[in-house]
Amino acid sequence: MPASALLHAADLDFAYDTARPVLSGVSLDVARGALVGVLGPNGSGKTTLLALLAGMRRPSRGSIALDGRPLGSYSRRALAARIAVVPQETHLAFDYTALEMVLMGRHPHLGLFEVEGPADLAIAREALGAVGAAHLEGRDFMTLSGGEKQRVVIAGALAQATDVLLLDEPTSSLDLGAQLEIASLLAELNASRGVTIVVSTHDLTLASGICRDLVLLRHGRVLAAGATADALTGPNVRALYDVDADVHVHPGTGHLVVVPLHRSS
């Protein structure tokens, strides 16, 4: 395992049943402070990989380590204090305000029967401020827009005081403006707060704009991995999505731009 790796996964296999493996022989290293994108078509295993990295599921083969220690050796509470997950959608059984949603991120740090105190409230409000959502604290979560909800959920993850933030399709249901806002927010959290981020996404613009490294999954296997400029190429896009694409550097932003042309034959 590289000395710089905060998260290390080696030769992961996983299947929900015996009929077809979801992941086969997947390995990756996530350095401390990295911003890694996981790309792949539907059914490629992206969400499952995040669940394994979060300790929500166990691989049928292979190993995962956090700071050189096997993931399975952490208690659920200890792991929740190190790794936070932002799912594609957040469903609630009850109505909560935005501040109450963020306070839930403090639960791994509370003792049995302990309730949130002034320090937890201060941390939650600081997290809302960090994502530009302090003005939403009294709003009912379910009345917020898609982009506002994502900011609040990310604030809750920050309130966990975690080292690693795993996000599953964070921009999938957002309009273009909200997509840009969430992309900028993730880049800012990574740069200014040193949060290690792994993001699963279909959004090639998001991936090329903010991710320094990429992992490309196809049929549960790693097709390519490495620096974004090396991994996101025309041949790799064709192999990943069966689409011919023009991949070039945008002269204004300096980021890679992927322009789909047609289905490859």
CATH code where residue 67 lies: 3.40.50.300
Do 205 and 253 fall within a single domain? yes
> pLDDT at position 86, please?
87
- Same domain, yes or no: 20 and 58: yes
Q: What is the pLDDT of residue 178?
A: 83
Is 222 contained in some domain?
yes
Q: What kind and span of H or E run contains 22?
A: none
Same domain, 124 and 200: no
pLDDT at 87: 84
Average pLDDT of each block of 10 consecutive residues along the chain (265 residues)? 78 85 94 95 93 93 94 89 84 81 80 71 88 91 89 87 87 83 89 92 87 94 94 90 86 82 80
Query: How far apart are alpha carbons 39 and 42 in whole angstroms?
Result: 10
**Secondary structure (DSSP) of 226-262:** EEHHHHS-HHHHHHHHSEEEEEEE-TTT-SEEEEEEE
- Asked whether residue 140 falls in the same domain as residue 263, the answer is no
Cα distance between residue 85 and residue 83, in whole Å: 7
Question: Is residue 14 included in any domain, yes or no?
Answer: yes
Domain hosting 116: range is: 91-161
Contact 102, 127 (CB under 8 A): yes
* 220, part of any domain: yes
Determine the pLDDT at residue 51: 94
Evaluate whether residue 183 is within a structural domain. Answer: no
Same domain (yes/no): 29, 102: no
Q: Are residues 122 and 72 in the same domain?
A: no
The per-residue pLDDT for 113 is: 59
The pLDDT, as a whole number, for residue 221 is 95
Residues 241 and 259 grouped into a single domain = yes
Contact at 8 Å (CB) between 147 and 122? no
Long-range contacts of residues 73-77, Cβ cutoff 8 Å, at least 24 apart: 77/108
65 and 97 within one domain: no
**Total domains, the chain:** 2
**What are the residues facing 215 on neighbouring strands?**
38, 225
Residues 36 and 154 in one domain: no
Domain boundary among 116, 137, 161: 161
In a domain, 211, yes or no: yes
Does 136 share its domain with 151?
Answer: yes
Read off the tokens for 25.
Answer: 């022989």
For residue 181, being part of any structural domain is answered with no
The CA distance from 122 to 115, in Å, is 14
Q: Are 7 and 26 in the same domain? A: yes
18 and 110 within one domain: no
